[in-house]
Amino acid sequence: MITLIRIELYKIFKKWRTYIGFMVIAVIVPVINFAMLAEGEKSLDFMTRNLQQSFVFVGNLLNGYLISYFILTSLAVHIPFLIALVAGDLLAGEATAGTYRLLITRPVARIKIVTSKFIAGLIYSNLLVLWLAVMSLGIGILIFGVGELIVIKSSGIIIFAKNDIIWRFIFAYGFAGLSMTVVTALAFFFSSLVENAIGPIVSTMAVIIVFLILSALPIDFFRNIEPYLFTTYMSSWRNLFEDPVDYQAFIKAIAVLSLHIIILFTITAWIFKRKDILT
Amino acid sequence: MKNILIFILFTSVSLAQSVKPEDILEKVKNNFSRVNDYEVRVNIKVDVNFLKVPETRAKIFYKKPDKIQLKSEGFALLPKEGLDFSPYSFLEGDYTAIFDKENVIGGNPCYLLKIIPLGDKGDLILSTLWIDKNKYVIRKIESTTKSNGTFTIDLKYDNDFKYPLPSSMVFTFNVQKMQMPKEITGDMTDETNEEKDKQNKSRTTTGKVYINYSDYKVNSGLPDSLFTHEKK
């Protein structure tokens, strides 16, 4: 199995499109940091203007943690696209390249093939999230230093002590990895149905965007189905930046997303096992 | 009986007239004028329902008459009116002082004075000061401002203090709840109508800040360079 996974990872990282995600993050994160360097004080003054009417405060609030939090919030829709770009190609790419028959005529069970592909896709998506974490925290802390983290919600302001932040980010990025694994599983599922990678990529993004729109609509009917949409739980990493942390909601989100991964992978494996390869 | 009543009334009026608010305030200022500068460690605890801030430690530097600076290695937050508790900060500009009555606060007999600023340029509308009769320190302040409503400052002192500098302060105030657009907070979860009504009803909230002062260093000759940013 390890050999199969290594082969699949080699195939993923042999393609130039795999590096698009890493390059995009490598460009966007510094750009955001330099933009905050130029305009960050003004933005922070705007966000804390109500507080400044009544309080005087000192401290480095414009720090690497704030920038990283901001980046994590902003890239919620964009990272799934970068994931789908690779995950959608995992099975459909074999059909496009005409290597499907070659692949499954080897003396390896189909379930092993599909599992190794999925694990390779999972590794890629988590590597991308790890790259995002390293870039945003690394560059943020390098330029802005560390300090307390101010989180502004519509219900109020929370300021986290310096020594109470990094563990939140570790779990938040870990959860982001799990969310992106759901996107991987979804793209992988679509990839098993078609023979062209474009379809799965577009379908995955369409599903995510439609679910997000449905969740945002203030209509009772959609509120009722909201708990059943995986996109509802993808931003549950925000629970880690509450005081107190709603561990119950966080664990529920982990369970729901894990269930989605299991179901999507199971269906994909079943489809692949029964698939009649004609190309 | 009638004579006794007349005597009591006469004594009360005489007493009221004999208590001159300007003299009381002058004594308070003179008492505080012994403090040329001070440096103090503060421990700040904020209790506002929409603001969650960890307990913070900072240092306050003061130099007569109006230099004050808050410094901290990390983050620290203080109400603006609570930063400077010197009598000068509450008695600046032209004002009218009226003696209201005598009162007791925390077992300390106090004069209750009303301070009405003259002119309409300042933010302050009215201040009520409770001044310790024996020690001529301010025990409590209740002020109404144009921009931030009413705030109250309760000051506690050590029993055998050498300088009129408090050991603790409780600052009670009204503050407007934050209204941040969801596009900035990223908090896209839709509120129910019930939650919205609850928020609309309580736009202004009451908060408290508890400050403990320790390790005063008084009249140590603080340089002006310490006060580079904050000057009233």
Domain borders along chain B are 15-227
Closest residue to A218, CB basis, from B70, B83, B190: B190
Mean pLDDT of the region A133-145: 93
Residue to substitute from A50, A53, A56, interface B, most B β-carbons within 10 A: A56
How far is the alpha carbon of A68 from chain B, nearest alpha carbon, in Å? 14
Percent of chain B surpassing pLDDT 90: 27
Give the pLDDT confidence score for residue B114 in this predicted structure.
93
What average pLDDT score do residues A161-177 get?
93
What pLDDT, on a 0 to 100 scale, did the predictor assign at position A129? 93
As a whole number, mean pLDDT of residues A159-173 equals: 92
Q: Tell me, what's the pLDDT at B81?
A: 76
Min CA distance, B35 vs chain A (Å)?
23
pLDDT at B230 over 50: no
User: Cβ contact (<8 Å) for B52 and A155?
Assistant: no
On the question of pLDDT at A74 being above 80, the answer is: no
Q: What is the pTM of this model?
A: 0.81
Residue from A43, A55, A223 whose CB has the most chain B CBs within 10 Å, to mutate: A55
Supply the pLDDT for residue A256.
Answer: 93
Residue B74 · residue B42 · CB < 8 Å = no
Mean pLDDT rounded to a whole number for chain B? 80
Identity of the residue numbered A275: K
Judge whether A2 and A119 are in contact, CB under 8 Å: no
Write down the pLDDT at residue B10: 54
Q: A53: which chain B residues are within 8 Å (Cβ-Cβ)? A: 147-148, 175-176
Does the pLDDT of residue B21 top 80, yes or no? yes
Question: Would you state the pLDDT for residue B215?
Answer: 92
Confidence (pLDDT) at B118: 85
* Band of pLDDT at residue B232, cut at 50, 70 and 90: very low
Stretch B155-172: mean pLDDT: 90
ipTM comes to: 0.73
Nearest CA in chain B to A150: B53
> Is B173 within 8 Å of B46 (Cβ atoms)?
no
User: What does the pLDDT average to over A130-141?
Assistant: 93
Q: Can you list the alpha helix ranges (DSSP code H) found in A98-237?
A: 100-104, 110-144, 166-191, 198-216, 220-225, 231-234
Q: Residue B231's pLDDT is what?
A: 41
Set of chain A residues whose Cβ sits within 8 Å of the Cβ of B178: 50-51, 152, 156-157
**How are the residues of chain B apportioned to helix, strand and coil, as percentages rounded to the nearest 5?**
25, 45, 35
CATH superfamily of this structure's domain B15-227: Lipoprotein localisation LolA/LolB/LppX (2.50.20.10)
